[in-house]
Amino acid sequence: MTSFHPYLFLPGTCREAFTRYQEVFGGDLEVLTSADMPPEERMPGASSDAVMHAALVIGDGLLMGSDDPEATDARPTAGISVNVELESVEATRAAFGALAEGGQVVAPLDAVSFSPAFGMLVDRFGVSWLLTTAAEPAG
């Protein structure tokens, strides 16, 4: 079985971002810092509290990330967005609103041909998101 899982590199905001994503989506969060790793496996130039690896598990979904000690500012991710499909319009609205706080809405949440609610935004951490409500099966 092949699985694809987004891996985010953040400029020292990984713990804050993943804590926020857990607040928004729920799930189980594991965070390993540089101090948790053997000295030979630590990121060169990283502080002891720098996140080496974060994993947020929600059902079958997995979002991962780490701090990037070479990044100096929050830049929007280029060429990729994290796509999340939620079960209801209400859940999509709630997640969209929470992620939009301090960020920038690119496409407001609205009904489209393929979804009862779809929107695009860049959150305050510079991560680009596509939020979609699962389409109701044709009956």
Please check whether residues 50 and 98 belong to one and the same domain. no
| Amino acid making up residue 40 | E
Closest CA to 119 of 69, 77, 81: 81
Q: What per-residue confidence (pLDDT) applies to 137?
A: 63
Q: Are residues 62 and 87 in the same domain?
A: no
Its pTM surpasses 0.85: yes
**What's the pLDDT at 71?**
73
Query: How many structural domains does the chain have?
Result: 2
pLDDT at residue 43 in the model: 78
What are the 10-residue block averages of pLDDT along the chain, 139 residues in total? 87 95 98 91 83 95 90 72 96 98 97 96 95 80
Residue 74's pLDDT is: 64
* Measured distance CA(19)–CA(22) in Å, rounded: 5
Q: Are residues 122 and 93 in the same domain?
A: yes
